[in-house]
Amino acid sequence: MVVTLWKKLFRTIKEKKAQYLAAWVLIVISSALFYSFTAAGTNLVDNLDTFYQTNHVEDANFVVQDPLKKTDKLEEQFDLQLERRLSVDVPMKEDTIVRLLNETHSIDTYSVIEGRKLQSDQDILIDQGFAKAHDISIGDQLDLSGEQFVVKGTMAIPDYIYPLRITSGFLKNPSAFGVAIVQGDVLKNMPNTHSYYSVRFNQDNKETFKHLLNENNHVLQWIGKQDNNRITFIQGDIAAVKKMGESLPIGILLITLVIILILLWRLMKKEYVQIGTLYAIGYKKSEIVRHYLTYAALLALSGSIVGTLLGWLLMHPLISVFSAYYNLPVLTTNPHAGYLLISLLLPLVFFVPLTYILVRRVLRIPPVILMKGGRIKTKVNKVERIFKLRNLKFAKKFILRDIFRNLPRIGFLSIGVMFATLLLLMGFITKDSMTYLVHDNFTEVYHYKYEYTFNQLQTEPPQSGQPASSIPSAIETKEGDQSLVLTGLEPDNSAIQLKDMDGNRLKFDSVIINKSLADKLDIAEGDKIEVTSQLSNKTFPIRIDHIANSYLGDMIYMPLEQLNQLNDYPKDSYMALYSDKELAIPKEKLASKSLTDNMVTGFEQIIQPLNYGIIAIALVAAIIAVIIIYILISLLIEENSYKISLMKVIGYNERTIQKLMIGYNVWFVILGFFIAIPITLVSISAFLNSITAEMNITIPVKIDWVNIAISFFVILAAYYVTLLLNKRLLKKVSMHEAINKSTE
């Protein structure tokens, strides 16, 4: 493009800097979000994959009744890796448990994050989050179960990347639970050591392996990698980060695209005469097209470059927050050229085609007509004609006519506000849904403190506590196996309490499926399904009687008697006991004893970063709302400057002019807000479903009306801020314009 035209371009942008800057900021936000989220997400995936690979993540862990004898023979026979694991839960302080694990060599090996490897029996490595929560540093002494340990550093292991106490849990709580690694021999001498196996298959022979184990031993527990929240949660979370990074910026870009189109269209309309003159003095159509395209391209490129740079800066803290939350060692961060390129070019690719079409359209007007300032339209709008405005009072007539003449812009105002609201509500809904899941759902469902799992089936009636048996199972679906936990309970069990969708308490004399699993399998009451036990590979049919309003895990509950019968277990046998108080059960009989998490306190801690996140999102949403409303209202003032000037000449004061010309917009802001509510609910539920697809839970979409009210005030405040910003513009419209129209 010719140098002189560049000068014109820069000066035009300078004259309208507020509007262009506003659009530019949106592009920067969009690129920064896109690049930081997608690049961070991809880096995390890469590091996670590397970690899983180099540290040999397990495919499953299992508990058998009798210890396995010749593990090396099994490994050879089935071409797999097998390693015995030892673990013991040791109280450190009140309400704080450290799980000591033995050092492994072929599966789930540890990486030192800080410090050095284990060298002696006194050495201990602890997980990062726990170390931080308890202010433990290298060199500290830990007294655990009477043994003295010296902290040699922090570590990460693949099967505790998200350190949950129980595999089906979903909120970690580093102040109450942490894992630590010590040398193998140390644990052998400790009381209450629990033993299990981790396995890594090289071939698709899981079933035959299990079959062999069940021949002369019993598989009591089998947790596949995909059912282990300690391993899978991080994947769902990374997926969420990436999805946010991909969808949110596109939305912002779409809004920006419309804004830029409006700005350019308006600019070209004002410059009809100039365009015609450029023609006349010998400029080619393509040169003029290029000139106007440059506005969009310049905004897009400069915005995306700055945005991507910001994104690059933002990516690192994002990765470290994430990797610290999950116990993931991050070894390398790459710029990821693909995302870098997309981030740099996406706005350009987005804007250029449509602006090109717009500019071409304007340039189809013959130059002689452009030079006369274009065709002047004075036709009365169709909608306007339908309503008979004549009979209305002046003010109403005036406002309605303005609305009819500006329908597209007003529509866009509503859409823009809708988008900002969507963003704002998204934060709140995520929080409200989590709160619901924990406060309402978890505490309502689980009413026991201790869970004792035996190392073999018990047939003696329990002295106290409520008996239960849980069998990891699976259902075949079109998309592959859906795993679930099948739990048998006594009909009058009260340790677990479920309600149906209408809020009525359910008794365990029937087969009950929880809502999250029912939704995943698309099951209704009365349906029959085939369930396969992961322990014995036996398949049996069950008929679903009720759906319970619970979203924790993928669960089916049935009468214990029926469960025993289906699995050929002895009558009245059970595997576990739930109890409110501690039971005196000899430890030789137990496979594990666990305390339910104190969910609510853990939740408060976990929700804290989410609160900051929500504030950040709200801020971005408010900025976007302000920008959109600001641009639209400033355009409104500009386009009507002649009318405003005339009103000033006639003697209207600015307040009345504002009321007549701008005031009505508030109704469309409010309209946009209310349209956003159902749209947000629908899109959030789609979003949550897609990220929890790989996880063991479903997050029901809930929103607190207080938060809706807060969002409403944020949006309304944004509107009033733009009114203040635009006050100057309104003031600047001079009365000369109406007196001396021909100068324009």
- Binding segment for another protein (CB under 8 A), chosen from 187-195, 273-281, 448-456, 460-468, is 273-281
Q: Does 12 engage in binding with another protein (CB under 8 A)? A: yes
| 201 SS3 class | strand
Using CB under 8 A, which of the segments 3-11, 211-219, 225-233, 473-481 binds another protein? Answer: 3-11
d(CA 418, CA 624): 11
Among 274, 302, 381, 596, binds another protein (CB under 8 A): 274
CA 637, CA 583: separation in Å to the nearest integer? 76
Backbone angles phi, psi at 423, to 5 degrees: -60, -45
**Least separation in angstroms between CB 9 and another protein:** 9
Binding pattern to another protein, positions 224-263, x when CB under 8 A?
A: ----------------------------------------
Of the candidates 185, 129, 136, the residue with the CA atom closest to the CA atom of residue 156: 129
Contacts with 26 (C-beta within 8 Å, 6 or more apart), sequence order: 252, 253, 255, 256, 259, 303, 624, 627
Does residue 5 touch another protein according to CB under 8 A? yes
The CB-of-368 to another protein minimum distance in angstroms stands at 5
User: Contacts with another protein in 285-304 (CB under 8 A)?
Assistant: 285
Q: Which is nearer to another protein, 364 or 581 (CB)?
A: 364
Segment contacting another protein by CB under 8 A, of 10-18, 145-153, 434-442, 467-475: 10-18
Q: How far is the CB of 425 from another protein (least distance, A)?
A: 43
For residue 51, give the 3-state DSSP assignment.
helix
Q: Does 725 bind another protein (CB under 8 A)?
A: no
- Give the 3-state secondary structure of 131-164: HHHCCCCCCCEEEECCEEEEEEEEEECHHHCCCC
For another protein, the closer of residues 5 and 670 by Cβ is 5
Work out whether 341 is an interface residue with another protein (CB under 8 A): no
Other beta carbons less than 10 A from residue 400's beta carbon: 16
Question: Binding residue for another protein (CB under 8 A) from 45, 68, 190, 273?
Answer: 273
Q: Which helix (H) or strand (E) holds 445?
A: helix 443-445
Query: Closest by alpha carbon to 237, among 434, 424, 58?
Result: 434
Name which of 354 and 371 has its Cβ closer to another protein: 371
Q: CB of 294: closest distance to another protein in angstroms? A: 15
Under the binding rule (CB under 8 A), the answer on residue 277 touching another protein is yes
Alpha-carbon distances, residue 392 vs 192, 234, 400, 640 (angstroms): 86, 62, 10, 22
589 touches another protein (CB under 8 A): no
**Short-list 671, 625, 439, 494, CA closest to 29:** 625
Interacting residues of 53 by C-beta distance below 8 A, sequence separation 6+: none
278/662 with CB nearer another protein: 278
First to last CA, the chain: 27
Q: Is 7 in the site for another protein (CB under 8 A)?
A: yes
269 near another protein (CB under 8 A):
no
d(C-alpha 659, C-alpha 78), whole Å: 81
**Which listed range, 283-291, 463-471, 612-620, 665-673, lies at the site for another protein (CB under 8 A)?**
283-291
Residue 92: partners with Cβ closer than 8 Å, 6 or more residues away: 98, 134, 142, 144
x/- track of binding to another protein for residues 510-539 (CB under 8 A): ------------------------------
On the CB side of 342, CA atoms within 13 Å amount to 16
Establish if 8 lies at the interface with another protein (CB under 8 A). Answer: yes
Q: Which two tokens stand for residue 742?
A: 């021909």
φ, ψ for residue 596 (rounded to 5)? -65, 150
> Of the two residues 267 and 309, which places its CB atom closer to another protein in the complex?
267
Among the listed ranges 274-282, 357-365, 544-552, 664-672, the one in contact with another protein (CB under 8 A) is 274-282
Question: Pattern 358-377, binding to another protein, x per CB under 8 A?
Answer: --------xxx--x------
Residue 685 near residue 701 (C-beta atoms within 8 A): yes
Q: Which is nearer to another protein, 280 or 407 (CB)?
A: 280
Helix-strand-coil split of the chain, %, nearest 5: 55, 20, 25
Q: In this complex, which beta carbon is closest to another protein, that of residue 3 or of residue 650?
A: 3
Place of tokens 């690059």: 312
Footprint of another protein on residues 15-44 (CB under 8 A)?
A: 15
In the DSSP assignment, the letter for residue 72 is H
Asked whether position 313 contacts another protein by CB under 8 A, the answer is no
Beta strands 60-64 and 574-579: pairing type?
Answer: unpaired
Question: From the CB of 372, what's the least distance to another protein, in Å?
Answer: 10
Distance separating alpha carbons of residues 489 and 61, to the nearest angstrom: 25
Closest by Cα among 213, 233, 404 to 328: 233
In the complex with another protein, which residue's Cβ is closer, 270 or 593? 270
How do strand 177-182 and strand 147-156 relate by DSSP bridges?
A: unpaired
CB 45 → another protein: shortest distance, Å?
A: 50
Q: Round to whole Å and give the CA distance between 93 and 36.
A: 40
The residue type at 481: D
The smaller minimum CB distance to another protein, of residues 84 and 270, is found at 270
Residue 51 or 279: the one with the smaller Cβ distance to another protein is 279
Q: Are 262 and 29 in contact (CB under 8 A)?
A: no
Check residue 2 for interaction with another protein (CB under 8 A).
yes
The reply on whether position 283 binds another protein by CB under 8 A is yes
Count of positions on this chain that bind another protein (CB under 8 A): 25
Candidates 214-222, 280-288, 429-437, 580-588; binding stretch for another protein (CB under 8 A): 280-288
Give every CB contact of residue 296 below 8 A, 6+ residues apart in sequence: 260, 264, 351, 352, 355
Q: Residues 93, 284, 396, 439: which binds another protein (CB under 8 A)?
A: 284
CB of 244 or CB of 263, closer to another protein = 263
In the complex, what is the shortest distance from the CB of residue 259 to another protein, in angstroms, rounded to a whole number?
A: 22
Q: Rule CB under 8 A: which residues touch another protein? A: 2-5, 7-8, 11-12, 15, 273-274, 276-285, 366-368, 371
